[in-house]
């Protein structure tokens, strides 16, 4: 998936989750979800986050490759442990970041490359139906996810009245 798709999916997914749970929907948490949705690509020096954090990105890419460690359940587990170790209000920001991160992994599992979810094992996990990164299928899938997230908010019995603190 491209960075743009990851941002849309991370933001829409977190917004829908926040609407259906006690998680806060704020500028801080939505920003954290967006940053989390881009973070796994730190292992790709040409990605948005890779270009920004190139001193970290280049070594990660050389050691683990793209879609290696940072695209694994091990990295996500590290985030969950971090969430468990911190207190409010940081925990809600980390949860939002972790949601964006998890949605990145799920989105990349929908591509033909898949993800090495159980790194360091080399088995790639893919969704039953996959799309090519940057192709029309990616944009269709992203649009579908956005529509489903919007529908979950609009069709919710409480209605779409979302405060933005």
Domains in the chain, number: 1
3-state secondary structure of 139: helix
In which domain, by residue range, is 103 found? 3-154
Inside any domain, residue 18:
yes
The span from the CA of 128 to the CA of 120, in Å, is 23
Inside any domain, residue 165:
no
Inside any domain, residue 159:
no
Burial class (CB in 10 A: 0-12, 13-18, 19+), 128: exposed
| Contact by Cβ (8 Å): 98, 36 | yes
pLDDT digits (tens, 9 = 90+) for 71-99: 999 999 988 888 888 877 788 999 999 99
pLDDT digits (tens, 9 = 90+) for 123-160: 999 999 999 999 999 999 999 999 999 998 888 766 55
The span from the CA of 89 to the CA of 133, in Å, is 36
What is the percent of the chain with per-residue pLDDT over 70, rounded to a whole number?
Answer: 94
């Amino acid at each position: 998936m491209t960075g743009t798709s990851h941002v849309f999916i991370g933001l829409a997914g977190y917004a829908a989750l926040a609407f259906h749970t006690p998680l806060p929907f704020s500028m801080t948490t939505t920003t954290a979800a967006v940053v989390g949705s881009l973070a796994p690509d730190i292992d790709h020096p040409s990605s948005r986050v890779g270009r920004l954090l190139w001193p970290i990105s280049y070594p990660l890419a050389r050691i683990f490759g793209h879609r290696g460690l940072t695209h694994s359940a091990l990295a996500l587990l590290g985030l969950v442990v971090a969430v468990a170790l911190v207190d409010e209000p940081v925990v809600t920001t980390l949860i939002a970041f972790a949601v964006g991160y998890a949605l990145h992994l799920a989105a990349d599992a929908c591509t033909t490359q898949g993800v090495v979810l159980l790194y360091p094992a080399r088995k790639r996990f893919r969704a039953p139906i996959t799309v090519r990164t940057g192709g029309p299928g990616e944009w269709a899938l992203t649009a579908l996810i956005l529509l489903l997230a919007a529908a979950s908010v609009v069709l919710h019995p409480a209605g779409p009245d979302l405060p933005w603190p």
